[in-house]
Copies of this chain bind each other. A is one copy, B any other.
């Protein structure tokens, strides 16, 4: 069985495992107050060109989303998201469990646009019964999105402007940020992201780490007491150094971006093959997730040898599925798949 169903099927990059072995019996303080977390934080701040940023390490994506969002909102405030946003669909109501409504915007490709946000916000404040409605206060975007699409610098800048104009916090879920920032056609870099967003995170789980997400907070209003919240939500790892060590390795010599590029390269190889062989793509993704439309009978055959994600029915005889590559995907496995298509 060759797995293309997700980008977290394997363990971690070898550098990380090596470093974990080397440092295993070293004694450090707990809860992220060790020198590895300090160093990893420094590396990330440098890459972001934001000396003033706070960097925190959490274990997983849902945990990170709920902690960041709960840190930002008062109880009657909500977070704006694409209807397809991970927080709206795939976190078992984690945001609502913290008391906050997800205010959804329609989206075909996983992205939302500045004008949509502006309209939602203005509709709220102009409604004479707005006190009877959830007050929008944060915008959540994922980049790349759940559909593999990415924001351009222009799009992100416009969203950032609208947020600033109306006092909305902008939060980017970067669970797959590496795959986005190294995608063909991408014109954003980490300093842009850190400049435009109030808070974002750099995903490790899906990009080379055993686990871990690095939250970068640039807006001072969101920095206060953030560690209280990490602890309360169950996200403060006792042996916090495990996170520092991993992000230290990922951000040494741009490893994070190199391995992300590898995944994208293989995804483009697959994408081209799919198009050549006449499989239409449900969404035009330039990152490590590809969404071909395939005949159901063929999918059944494919399933004997490969795992991939079922997305949705397309028509009576076709479905949309997802193939993921990752930092660990072998080129030979992609070649085998291509020859089976």
Give CA–CA (A102, B101) in the complex, Å: 9
Residues 135-151 (chain A) with a chain B CB within 8 angstroms = 135
- Is there a chain B Cβ closer than 8 Å to A315's Cβ? no
Q: How many A residues have CB within 8 A of the partner chain?
A: 78
Q: How far is the CB of A57 from chain B (nearest CB, A)?
A: 13
If A91-B232, A235-B63 touch, whether A11 touches B23 (CB-CB below 8 Å) is yes
Residues in B with CB closer than 8 Å to A96 are: 78, 96, 99-101, 134
Which candidate, A25-33, A191-199, A254-262, A288-296, is the interface stretch facing chain B?
Answer: A25-33
Give CA–CA (A314, B311) in the complex, Å: 36
Residues 76-116 (chain A) with a chain B CB within 8 angstroms = 76, 78, 89-94, 96-102
Interface centre among A27, A205, A210, A239 (most CB of B within 10 A): A27
Contact B91 A231 (CB under 8 A): yes
- Is there a chain B Cβ closer than 8 Å to A234's Cβ? yes
Q: How far is the CB of A93 from chain B (nearest CB, A)?
A: 4
Give CA–CA (A162, B212) in the complex, Å: 41
Residues 1-46 (chain A) with a chain B CB within 8 angstroms = 1-3, 5-6, 8-12, 14, 17, 20-21, 23-31
- Is there a chain B Cβ closer than 8 Å to A310's Cβ? yes
Which candidate, A124-132, A152-160, A177-185, A271-279, is the interface stretch facing chain B?
Answer: A124-132
Q: How far is the CB of A242 from chain B (nearest CB, A)?
A: 6
Residues 210-248 (chain A) with a chain B CB within 8 angstroms = 210-211, 225, 227-229, 231-239, 242
Give CA–CA (A24, B17) in the complex, Å: 9
A and B contact pairs by CB, cutoff 8 A, 12 listed: A9-B30, A59-B234, A67-B234, A76-B228, A91-B132, A91-B231, A93-B134, A96-B96, A96-B101, A97-B233, A131-B231, A211-B242
Closest 10 CB pairs between A and B? A63-B234, A11-B24, A92-B232, A76-B228, A9-B27, A93-B134, A3-B27, A96-B101, A93-B101, A92-B231
